[in-house]
Structure 1
Amino acid sequence: MSNVAVVGSQWGDEGKGKIVDWLSERADVVVRFQGGHNAGHTLVIDGEVYKLSLLPSGIVRKGKMSIIGNGVVVDPWALLAEMDRLREQGVELTPDNLKISENAALILPLHGEVDRAREAAAKGDAKIGTTGRGIGPAYEDKVGRRAIRICDLADPDFLKERVDALLLHHNALLRGLNQPEIDGAGVVEKLLEIAPKILPFVDVVWQRLEECRKTDKRVLFEGAQGAMLDVDHGTYPFVTSSNTISGQASAGSGVGPSSVGYVLGITKAYTTRVGSGPFPTELFDDVGQRLGERGHEFGTVTGRQRRCGWFDAVMVRQACKVGGITGIALTKLDVLDGFKELKVCVGYRIDGEEFDHLPSLPSKQAKVEPIYETLEGWDDSTYGARSWADLPATAIKYIRRIEELIDVPVALLSTSPERDDTILVQDPFHPKS
């Protein structure tokens, strides 16, 4: 038996929600280990649609413990609003089934103000395409040792000191952006008001996970975004503000690397991206529009339309190597139904030179020309297929070619948003079976 970490292998939006839900039914504990409420999962269970941003996907399953790890930046107001929405849908949330790491950093309203002010001040290509929810500034405060952490809510005097130190930095920044300064007393008042609603859920998460290890509980580590948005390994600076690869599952939850187990990379059968930044296989024609319409490519959190393009095997292979991905879950294969031919990017060309990886230098990333291999498409529907026998032969060839190009096998195949429309090739919780 193995624990499982679920990560995105592209730019996020690969369909992690359904896969995590599918796995969470068989897990005992689900841990969210990075990111903030700028990411979203949509779960469809027995016809009921659940939209999650901060809460782990296991929260909608009875009898599961859900954990928000220290690697997450938590907007307490957004968290309580999300909890209220789920309660209205009949989901039980108590300190018994939801635990928040005591050392997780908080996102404050001022972080969103700073985020939006900076993005508004940026010009042209300097705009990142941030959601404006304060994720970046909150992570900056964390590494700058200015952050307000959840445990600070339990000590009003210490909290006031921390807020004063935080505003020494942020008010100077806001002055430079010609924005109004923030009143510290108001920030403290809001935090103390919300503290009694949050503190009952706070726990020493690393100890809970150590107990799980000793009692052989199955743990599912849930990431947000995708590998190419990783702050170190993604298309910097057009990235998120945290590490999104599987190594963060360890640091962001408080367990050793050996406890992470099988790494499942969620991989869309084509490619999408939200926001600014390089996108080698992006399509601006009718094909790109068709992919977006058939795939319903709009962000769960922001509603922003996603940019669409052909499958980029170079990028996914790089994500698999950097992120230690054991197997992939290939999603949205059905969106490709009816295409006469499909293209897969097998290499890059930059100024006449061929590359088998995406260079880190932004000026080179901006010049990438994809080298395509053309594959035969299929007319038959793959929607709802639950076995290899249900798939057209050319669809199977497409899958096998992707496996060859990224050097990682397909462990799961998703053929619709419904959780049961899944072909299991290798069980991540029992990888040797």
Structure 2
Amino acid sequence: MWSNFVEKIFISPKLMLGYIGVMVFMAGEGLEQGWLSPYLIDHGLSVERSALLFSIYGLSASFSAFFAGVLTEIYGVRRVMTTGLVMFCVGSFFFLTFGIPSHDFWIMLPSYALRGLSYPLFAYGFLVYITYEAPVNRLSTAGGIFWSCYACGLSVLGVTYSSITLKFMAPIYVLWSALILVCLGGVIALWIDKTAIQSKKRTNSKEKSSLLYLLKGITIIFEVPKLGLCGFVRIINTLASYGFPVFLPTVLQNLGFSIGQWLQMLASLWITNMIANYCWGILGDKWGWRNTVAWGGCIGCGLTTLLLYYVPTWGGGYFVTWVAACAYGACLAAYTPINAIMPMLAPENKGAAMSVLTLAAGLSTFFGPGIVGLFIHSIGAVGVIWIYAALYFIAAIMMSFVSINHHHFMKKETSLSSVV
């Protein structure tokens, strides 16, 4: 009975423990988001240096995200995830032992950047493993579960943990406690058995046994142009979600909303997204991966982005604006099947295909706020909103050129499994 429950909800016991491990790991990795920058500024770090610290962190994460897929195929999932875990611990040790106490920016910068390099190796390494371990007919569902656990750890559990512990612990000790969560998540994800998360690379491929395969994450875009299109779509996916916190709180405050109400809406947006990831993943396997991304994700996000701005602007109160925020979070999750589409576009090089996806996810964190910085003063908040909406609609057009019959891959699942 228990095994049937696990297979129905988490697909397999191996994946279940991995999902839980990633969720706990990300709770520790992201518990400082929202308060670390103000804390550092209050303790003597300039605003400019704080911005540079987090920019370098983001660049490091994007770099690591890009190589996570191909490194997984070269060295195996277990090694890559373990490396990410160790890097986080080492980076945290130097950041918390020497960087923050001494207020030395040049110690904080490389040590925090090392933390940025760490989490994509752990989380995205497991995501690559999912593309091999999950059956093709449940690949979209498997991706949905991953992003639900990822979002739950990063945006729900980590933030909630901080909001509670900061009431009775000094911030530096809260940061130290992140190591406990990260190590616990690592143990859960990796201590399944000695063969559960091993290398899925194909030993008969000489190319994959050398570092030259790292270039595959770049050259595969030219070999399979549809991967490039999907990469652009994935960048557009979370643009607005990273841009909203930069300017939307000010817009809402000017309309009479409190910052507390904005934070409640933001939290509800991500909770809805966490739940919807799982639901859209299941629907994607039944309705079709491309249809789900194009209509639920691209068109849905374009419309709800406009609603999130115009509902309060046209006099809508807190509740209807909250509904609009939740609707955007739900539509944002409809991009989940793209995690299934991209590896299936290059079934012989899934790791390289996933590197394109993870790089796109990282670049979205830069371009989202960047659009605000470039255009907010020239065309205002309404102009930025329309840029985001237009990009979502353009993404829907891009998806029309990505033809993939996922039912075809389901029929060939046995042959695909024999390759890996």
Return the TM-score normalized by structure 1: 0.29
Larger RCO (CA under 8 A, 6+ residues apart): 2
Q: Which has the higher strand share?
A: 1
Q: Which has the higher helix share?
A: 2
Return the TM-score normalized by structure 2: 0.29
